């Protein structure tokens, strides 16, 4: 299948990290998912810690989600006219994130961040933005400068094809460095429209915000009249019921969402302060539109998924399970004498072949990728599917139970031996 795919699709994949280029070997072509498992075309079963890169928080093919899709699809796939189910998703998002007063649905995280940036620029009448080294905000031109995820995996954090005129409007500073943000504001008076940040960085492996970092951004944006954008495409409803903003108690001006809010279907969203959102067409002069935006079938999958996360104790159980995994892996590595660390927040985790957990992109770059690659393949052979890159966070779903964690740790005993 991989050979055939490469004849019609660049590198055989529709998103770069899927190609296994950084870990080597042949990507698994998946045919089916069920709860914590995925199954490949050879019939091999894997415990899945990718979860479609975040959306599958309830596990694969959860009956409630599948049912919602089936029931909705019967009535038509798309109308390009308003539907009631879109109101339900908008109301659900607003109820969960107190910083959202108005929200617009789109079809991907990339669309959400591109739109939020244009909105921030239109609202402020300024052109420049600040982003952080190693943060990934989708593949919009302004944001593919020193980006994370696949851009980082392939050593091209800044993409070819982005005109210098566009890239020059993007100021890149180190993650967790408030002083560098302040210097940028001082050096560019009245020019910075927005600061965009992953409130928990999950696209250069996992890097947590240092104490005072997000607060510092809030203070500086207020002082210099810039829009603070939390890109919660990954963290939204993954690190807690009210996103990273609820967890850390910081209110951004705009928020971008994706992944979990579509439950595996293409849904994104951007929203925030009413006075800013009212600049969006047709209320205001900032244009944004989408033929399939608010698609009823996709929205139904998202609503069903969010309803599952409303179960009492959902996020506590998810966080506990995820911590059991990372603490278990650290203990195994220690026994095997491998320089390794790990950490978790909510249902996402980071694994590092380094003694200490990283606090910045520079720290992440010191991790031993050759060791990671050996570990990755040993685990894959043992039926454990981690992200095929040392620069991606991992995801646990509510369908992962004690049995799957135990099986993973047993496989890790052998994989760490292979990696050392
Ligand atoms: C995945 C991701 C995006 C891009 O979303 P797509 O749906 O892949 O376009 C943007 N921001 C963050 C933080 C992400 O993790």
CB within 8 A of 146, min separation 6: which ones?
A: 131, 133, 134, 157, 158, 172, 361
Residues 147 and 157 sit within 8 Å (Cβ to Cβ): yes
Alpha helices by DSSP H, listed for 168-259, are 178-187, 213-224, 243-248
For 255-281, give the DSSP string: EEE-GGGGBTBS-EEEEE-HHHHTTBT
What spacing in Å lies between the alpha carbon of 36 and ligand 1's midpoint?
22
The pTM score is 0.97
Residue from 109, 234, 263 whose mutation best tests the ligand 1 pocket (most atoms within 8 A of CB): 109
What spacing in Å lies between the alpha carbon of 416 and ligand 1's midpoint?
31
What spacing in Å lies between the alpha carbon of 306 and ligand 1's midpoint?
18
CA 297 – CA 68 distance, rounded (Å): 8
CB within 8 A of 34, min separation 6: which ones?
A: 59, 60, 61
Q: Which atom of ligand 1 is nearest to the CA of 108?
A: 7
CA 46 – CA 37 distance, rounded (Å): 5
Give the residue carrying structure tokens 């094809």. 161
What spacing in Å lies between the alpha carbon of 109 and ligand 1's midpoint?
4
Beta-bridge partners for 90? none
CB within 8 A of 411, min separation 6: which ones?
A: 378, 379, 382, 383, 384
Q: Is 233 in the pocket of ligand 1 (CB under 6 A)?
A: yes
Residue from 55, 237, 238, 259 whose mutation best tests the ligand 1 pocket (most atoms within 8 A of CB): 259
For 322-351, give the DSSP string: HHHHHHHHHHHHHHHT---EEEEETTEEEE
Quick check: bond before 282 cis, omega within 30? Answer: yes
Q: Which atom of ligand 1 is nearest to the CA of 138?
A: 4
How would you write the pLDDT of the chain (420 residues) with one tens digit per residue?
999 999 999 999 999 999 999 999 999 999 999 999 999 999 999 999 999 999 999 999 999 999 999 999 999 999 999 999 999 999 999 999 999 999 999 999 999 999 999 999 999 999 999 999 999 999 999 898 887 777 676 656 678 899 888 989 999 999 999 999 999 999 999 999 999 999 999 999 999 999 999 999 999 999 999 999 999 999 999 999 999 999 999 999 999 999 999 999 999 999 999 999 999 999 999 999 999 999 999 999 999 999 999 999 999 999 999 999 999 999 999 999 999 999 999 999 999 999 999 999 999 999 999 999 999 999 999 999 999 999 999 999 999 999 999 999 999 999 998 877
Q: In what order do the strands lie in the sheet with 30-34?
A: 30-34, 37-40, 45-48, 384-385
Residue from 53, 131, 203, 252 whose mutation best tests the ligand 1 pocket (most atoms within 8 A of CB): 203
| Structure tokens that stand for 7 in this block | 């004849």
Q: Is 136 in the pocket of ligand 1 (CB under 6 A)?
A: yes
Number of other CB atoms surrounding residue 294 within 10 Å: 24
| Sequence-ordered strand ranges (E) for 7-58 | 30-34, 37-40, 45-48
Q: Catalytic site residues?
A: 136, 231, 259
Q: In what order do the strands lie in the sheet with 192-197?
A: 102-106, 268-272, 254-257, 227-231, 192-197, 128-132, 170-173
Helix or strand holding residue 104 (H, E): strand 102-106
Residues 28 and 385 sit within 8 Å (Cβ to Cβ): yes
- In whole angstroms, what separates CA 49 from the centre of its chain? 14
| Structure tokens that stand for 96 in this block | 């969960």
Q: From atom 5 of ligand 1, which residue's Cα is the shortest distance away?
A: 109
CA 99 – CA 250 distance, rounded (Å): 9
Residue 314's pLDDT is 98
Helix or strand holding residue 416 (H, E): helix 402-419
Q: Classify strands 192-197 and 30-34 as parallel, antiparallel or unpaired.
A: unpaired
Picking from 362, 338, 309, 321, the residue whose alpha carbon sits closest to that of residue 419 is: 338
């Amino acid at each position: 299948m991989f050979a055939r795919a490469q004849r019609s699709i660049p590198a055989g994949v529709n998103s770069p990290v899927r190609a296994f280029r950084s870990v080597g070997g042949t990507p698994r072509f998946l045919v089916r998912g069920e709860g914590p498992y995925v199954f490949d075309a050879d019939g091999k079963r894997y415990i899945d810690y990718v979860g479609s890169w975040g959306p599958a928080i309830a596990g694969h093919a959860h009956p409630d989600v599948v049912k919602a899709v089936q029931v909705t699809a019967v009535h038509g796939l798309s109308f390009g006219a308003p539907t009631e189910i879109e109101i339900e998703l908008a109301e659900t998002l607003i109820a969960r994130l107190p910083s959202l007063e108005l929200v617009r649905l789109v079809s991907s995280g990339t669309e959400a961040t591109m739109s939020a940036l244009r909105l921030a620029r239109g609202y402020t009448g300024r052109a420049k933005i600040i982003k952080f080294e190693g943060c990934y905000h989708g593949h919009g031109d302004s944001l593919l400068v020193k980006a994370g995820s696949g851009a980082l995996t392939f050593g091209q954090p800044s993409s070819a094809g982005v005109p210098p005129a566009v890239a020059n409007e993007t100021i890149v500073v180190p993650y967790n460095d408030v002083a560098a943000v302040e210097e940028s504001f001082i050096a560019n008076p009245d020019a910075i429209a927005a600061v965009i940040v992953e409130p928990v960085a999950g696209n250069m492996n996992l890097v947590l915000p240092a104490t005072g970092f997000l607060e510092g951004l809030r203070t500086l944006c207020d002082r210099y009249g810039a829009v603070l954008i939390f890109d919660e495409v990954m963290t939204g409803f993954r690190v807690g019921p009210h996103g990273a903003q609820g967890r850390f108690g910081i209110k951004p001006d705009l928020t971008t969402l994706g992944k979990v809010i579509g439950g595996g279907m293409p849904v994104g969203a951007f929203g925030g302060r009413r006075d800013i959102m009212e600049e969006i067409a047709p209320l205001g002069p900032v244009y944004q539109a989408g033929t399939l935006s608010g698609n009823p079938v996709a929205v139904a999958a998202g609503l069903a998924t969010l309803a599952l996360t409303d179960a009492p104790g959902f996020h506590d159980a998810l966080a506990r399970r995820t911590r059991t995994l990372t603490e278990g892996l650290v203990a195994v590595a220690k026994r095997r004498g491998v320089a390794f660390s790990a950490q978790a927040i909510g249902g996402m985790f980071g694994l590092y072949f380094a003694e200490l957990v990283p606090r910045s992109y520079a720290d992440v770059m010191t991790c031993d990728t050759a060791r990671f690659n050996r570990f990755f393949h040993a685990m894959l052979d043992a039926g454990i599917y981690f992200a095929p890159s040392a620069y991606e966070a991992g995801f646990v779903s509510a369908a992962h139970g004690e049995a799957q964690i135990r099986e993973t740790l047993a496989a890790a005993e052998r994989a760490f031996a292979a990696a050392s």
